[in-house]
Amino acid sequence: MKPFVSKFPKTRNIQSGDTLEVFFFNSGFGTEEGTKRCQRFDLFLNEGETPYATICNPFGLMDTKLVAEFKNNRWQCDLD
């Protein structure tokens, strides 16, 4: 029996549950990494009632969680 190989490498961080399309950038270097689909773990509001989400890192570090902020009508994550 052959092992399962996903045809969708962009979604390798998604195991189950809800997902978000998140725009990634690095404000320190001024670079943009694009939009990626990520597994969402938690949703919460900060003191200013801005929505935040805890997401799975889509860049191969599977055990790393990141925080995305809903800003300018899209989910964003600063990698800086």
Asked if residue 5 is part of any domain, the answer here is no
- Residues 15-33 have pLDDT tens digits of 556 899 999 999 999 999 9
What's CA 40's distance to the chain center, in Å? 7
Tokens for 72? 């300018």
**Residue 65 domain-assigned (yes or no):** yes
Residue 64 is predicted with a pLDDT of 83
- Dihedral class, residue 58 (left if φ above 0, else alpha if ψ from -120 to 50, else beta): alpha
The count of structural domains within the chain is 1
Strands (E) across 1-80 are located at: 19-26, 31-45, 51-56, 65-71, 74-78
Encode pLDDT of 29-78 as tens digits. Answer: 999 999 999 999 999 998 888 999 999 998 876 668 999 999 999 999 99
In a domain, 47, yes or no: yes
Q: What is the pLDDT of residue 3?
A: 45
The whole domain housing 26 covers: 13-78
pLDDT for residue 66: 94
Question: Which token pair is 4?
Answer: 């399962």
The pLDDT of residue 10 is: 44
